[in-house]
Amino acid sequence: MSDIADLDISGAGSRRPQPAVMEGAAAPLTYAENTWCPGCGNFGILNVWKTLIDELADNGVPRERIVVVAGIGCHAKIADYLNLNTFYSLHGRTVPVATGIKLGNPELTVIAHAGDGDCYGEGLEHMLFAAKRNIDISLMVHDNGVYALTTGQYTPTSPRGFRGKSTPGGSAEQPINPLELAVAGGATFVARSYSRGAERLRQTMLDAVLHRGFSLVDILQVCATFNNLYSYYNERTFDMDDNDPSSRTDALNRIGEWTYGGDGRIALGTFYRSEADTFDGVFRDIDRSSFDREAAVRDLLARRV
Amino acid sequence: MYDSFSVLVGGKAGDGINEAGNLIARLMNRLGYRVYVEVDYPSLIRGGHNFSIVRCAREKVGCRTDRLDVVMALNDETVERHAHRLGGAGTLVIDTGSVKSVTPDEADEGDDDPSDESRGGDLKAGGERGGSGQDDSEEGDAECIVMGVPIAAILKELQAPPVMRNTCLLGTFCRIAGISWEILEDTIRQHIPRSLEKNLEVARRGYEATRKRESLASLDLPALPVMNGNEAVGLGLIRAGCTAYVAYPMSPSTGLLHFMASVADDCSLKVVHPENEIAVILMALGMAYAGERAAVGTAGGGFCLMTEGVSLAGQAELPIVIMVAQRPGPSTGLPTYTTQADLHFVLNAGQGEFPRLVVAPGSAEEAYYWSAVAMGLAWRYQTAAFVLADKAVCEGSYSIDIDALPPLPEYDVPLWDGVSPYRRYARPDDATAAGTAGTPDDMSTGASADAASAGTSGESADATAAGTATAEGSAAPSAAVPPGVSPLAFPPLPGEVVKVDSYEHDELGVTTEDNVETVLMQEKRVRKWCALEEEIDRLEAVKVRGDADAPTALLCWGSNGSVCREVADELGLRMVQPLVLSPFPTRQFEEALDGVERLICVENNVTGQLVKLLRLHGFDVDDAIRRYDGRMFSLEELTTGVKEVLQ
């Protein structure tokens, strides 16, 4: 009859058995096979999640209210691995999806995982606007300074001179400092952490998720295959213990000490933290229980006679 | 040609021309006339040339006539460009403060006598007055005259703000049209409630500055709401359960954003204007994941940015309604004019193959109805549904009568039955589908086996399979779960997870590159496509008007529906207008063309996009009439065009 109905949809004929179900709803991970390279910094982040789920529950966020959004890149496989509500989005588009989910249901706790190419390159504008709106979501950036899934090109946080497959002579661009941008944009929680050092990372991620407003955690996450910076980071990172997170000026000074390259010391911890109204708050009090659509339509029409 | 009366108001941008036209339309509407308002303006805020044409008739109208009865000029350019369109007994009203190229005729003594009916007592057929689009004034029982109103002086004297220029014009129009002061006062009280006394004073002066030229009788028809296509789209979306509207402003879709924002509080809507169109569609898809019935709107340029989101909606099976308001391209093109050049863009936007609904309304009523259908079907089938409009519909204002429409179909959204585990992309009907496709031998690996392995009782699994089978065999639009559709659930769901994925995925929503799983998922989406095609066949997806048995048919889509219907009525032709363009309503279209020997396709584009679409479906067109200067066909232009083709 029609072109579509004429299509042969008889298919493969036999069905493959369903994958094994996780060991109960309480399991932190799904059955998905982990395909990160040995030594990948993403394991450190995933491991934090295994305890973070229970910790969030202890802090009033039951796991069914958690939604994890991921972009596209090695980081994003976390969406498949986590036995949580997930939205495996597009490259660069974690933040708008996370924003939409939060606006759709402000009772959800929405955590976006993104890559540095993903979030600081393809989708930088979304991060700035999320900061500007102070939408109550958390953004965890797996910042490895390289496009790994596409096998090794420079990213917005790669240092000048980075020799990748698209810049064999060395990148001619300065890296951006995403934390400066986030503060400038209006983010109310800005932190940096490292994929090595589970306790520190766990605490920072927990603080970020529980923070009311937009939070960014730039996680120095090592790509063991295309940009192995373990020794570079191990030599330079330190935990801040003397900063004042309530001071924007102090935060910007500390953030500026390391410019995503060179020999500066790399401060870890929370640079900036403040309280402000959240964008999702605007949409919290909508009550549709008594809304009669037919009557509303008739009323709007009557006003136009 | 329907018996109608047309008035044009013209001036510079910033003169409030649009509002003046709308006020006249509302006034005529109160007298029982059906109105259509075409607005023509360039893309700027101050200066340029704007005009608004209000056409009034006893029948519903949706196009302009070249022939005008009254021209109200706020600048010389209006006189220069439009005065020659006045019929023999027409009236040119000029603002004597700003129009210098002509001077008002001397008023004859006694001309203002209310009993003097220079044009007879009711509407006269434009056709009787030689309205073939030419500037002839060969007949006419009265001469075209020029009347002057010192608008600026009146406003100055009354210390009224410039915006009240419109009120003054309205007063002037009423006097010329022979409409009583009482009706005018009533209209002003309802539609210009602010500074009421001052407005009435200004209107009174406008009213008194001219004299009666026509006697537009009150019709014995109920007054209808007047609304533009953008607003009607919004109304339809709201009626069908829309809870959120996300958009970045872009002509000619901006009116929908403004409308939704203006009614957000009354209609419990979440209205968001994000950083760009990419954020718009991704945000809306995030909302859909959370259970919010979101819609977005844009024009071609903004839709370019949205295409990755369209494909995501297809793969992740997320419902979304996308209003695309066409304006001439390529690129920035003519931002404030009309076209029908984005049909194939919308039909094909987004990588990969997935079902999409595309409806193309041609009036405010159709915009209301089909936007509601789009919202219902987007959610029933969890995919992208497009309302493909054009500037003429979006910004044209129409009398709208929703009670004249068929009842809106109520589309159920198949929801998860709560039997654990929840699988966002469950395919309970794999076996059923294999059966319909001609491989019934595969039934043993069907839904019940699958559900049982996942810990479901055989009983409920059987019920699911049976429900699906019923849906396929039944004509009821909302029975059970359509083929290929996985029941929806939204977080939070204690003990369950809701996973959506832009990659190919398994039933839970975990990424897969397995070839068998890929085939099954591709087929799942195609099953939805087929079911959607059956669904739209239950609606009037192809409209036939005019003489339904005529061997010559005018074929059109979108805003050309109105002008084609009128020409078909005039010339005794059949009019065929597909309202659904994807999935293409092949069966209904075939039926609509039954007995047609000559098919003339009318479109606002250069290459004949509907003609190309029809060829894909095995239909051929004999003649084509196309306009691609960004303007609509006038009634006279299309009548002449069709006559030429038929000669």
**B373 in Cβ contact with B213 (< 8 Å):** no
**A204 in Cβ contact with A217 (< 8 Å):** yes
pLDDT for res B193: 83
Across B517-535, average pLDDT: 96
In whole angstroms, give the CA distance from residue B409 to residue A238: 64
Task: Return the structure tokens found at A89.
Answer: 């989005």
H-helix or E-strand spanning residue A105: none
Contact residues, chain A, for B232 at CB < 8 Å: none
Residue of chain B nearest A70, judged by CA positions: B501
pLDDT tier at B3 (50, 70, 90 boundaries)?
A: confident
Contact residues, chain B, for A8 at CB < 8 Å: 437
Which domains does chain B carry? 4-208 (3.40.920.10), 226-404 (3.40.50.970), 430-527 (no CATH), 542-646 (3.40.50.920)
Per-residue pLDDT of chain A (305 residues; tens, 9 = 90+): 445 544 444 444 444 445 545 667 789 999 999 999 999 999 999 999 999 999 999 999 999 999 999 999 999 999 999 999 999 999 999 999 999 999 999 999 999 999 999 999 999 999 999 999 999 999 999 999 999 999 999 999 999 999 999 999 999 999 999 999 999 999 999 999 999 999 999 999 999 999 999 999 999 999 999 999 999 999 999 999 999 999 999 999 999 999 999 888 999 999 999 999 999 999 988 888 889 999 999 999 999 98
Best to test chain A binding among B33, B427, B436, B497 (most A CBs inside 10 Å) = B497
Four-point Cα dihedral B601, B603, B606, B608, nearest 10: -40
- Interface A-B, measured as beta-carbon pairs within 8 A, has a size of 249
- How open is the CA angle B82-B8-B19, to the nearest 5 degrees? 135
> Exposure of B269 by Cβ count < 10 A (0-12 exposed, 13-18 middle, 19+ buried)?
buried
The partner residue sitting opposite B283, judged by closest CB among A7, A13, A100, is A100
| Closest C-alpha to B78, from B152, B10, B151 | B10
The answer to whether A305 contacts B225, with C-beta atoms less than 8 Å apart, is: yes
CA atoms within 13 A on the CB side of B48: 14
The partner residue sitting opposite B287, judged by closest CB among A17, A62, A103, is A103
pLDDT for res B132: 40
Residue ranges of domains in chain A: 42-302
Across B34-38, average pLDDT: 97
Residue of chain A nearest B510, judged by CA positions: A80
Whether B365 shows a pLDDT value over 90: the answer reads yes
B483 upstream amide cis, omega within 30 of 0: no
Partner residues linked to B53 by β-bridges: B8, B38
SS3 B602: strand
The answer to whether A11 contacts B533, with C-beta atoms less than 8 Å apart, is: no
**B105 in Cβ contact with B144 (< 8 Å):** no
Instruction: Given the cut 0.90, state whether the ipTM is greater than it.
Output: yes
- Nearest Cα of chain A lies from the Cα of B384 at a distance, in angstroms, of 16
pLDDT for res B136: 41
Characterize the bridge pairing of strands B574-578 and B542-546: antiparallel
Contact residues, chain B, for A304 at CB < 8 Å: 225-227, 231, 400
pLDDT for res A4: 52
In whole angstroms, give the CA distance from residue B404 to residue B488: 34
Contact residues, chain B, for A18 at CB < 8 Å: 450, 453-454, 506-507
Best to test chain B binding among A7, A14, A15 (most B CBs inside 10 Å) = A15
Which residue matches tokens 């986030």? Answer: A182
- Nearest Cα of chain A lies from the Cα of B185 at a distance, in angstroms, of 15
Residue of chain B nearest A81, judged by CA positions: B510
Contact residues, chain B, for A288 at CB < 8 Å: 243, 268
H-helix or E-strand spanning residue B577: strand B574-578
Whether B580 shows a pLDDT value over 50: the answer reads yes
Task: Give the tens place of pLDDT for each residue, B128-178.
Answer: 333 344 444 444 446 789 999 999 999 999 999 988 998 999 999 999 999
The answer to whether A86 contacts B491, with C-beta atoms less than 8 Å apart, is: no
The answer to whether B308 contacts A125, with C-beta atoms less than 8 Å apart, is: no
In whole angstroms, give the CA distance from residue A56 to residue A36: 26
The answer to whether A62 contacts B275, with C-beta atoms less than 8 Å apart, is: no
- Nearest Cα of chain A lies from the Cα of B79 at a distance, in angstroms, of 31
Best to test chain A binding among B320, B400, B510, B527 (most A CBs inside 10 Å) = B510
Backbone angles phi, psi at B517, to 5 degrees: -60, -40
Q: Residue B609 to residues A22, B63, B211, B457, B615: CA-CA distances in angstroms?
A: 51, 21, 49, 52, 10
Second CATH level (architecture) for the domain A42-302: 3-Layer(aba) Sandwich (3.40)
In whole angstroms, give the CA distance from residue B637 to residue B56: 19
Task: Give the tens place of pLDDT for each residue, B530-562.
Answer: 999 999 999 999 999 999 999 999 999 999 999
The answer to whether B492 contacts A286, with C-beta atoms less than 8 Å apart, is: no
pLDDT tier at B115 (50, 70, 90 boundaries)?
A: very low
Task: Give the tens place of pLDDT for each residue, B283-335.
Answer: 999 999 999 999 999 999 999 999 999 999 999 999 999 999 999 999 999 99
**pLDDT-above-70 percentage for chain B:** 87
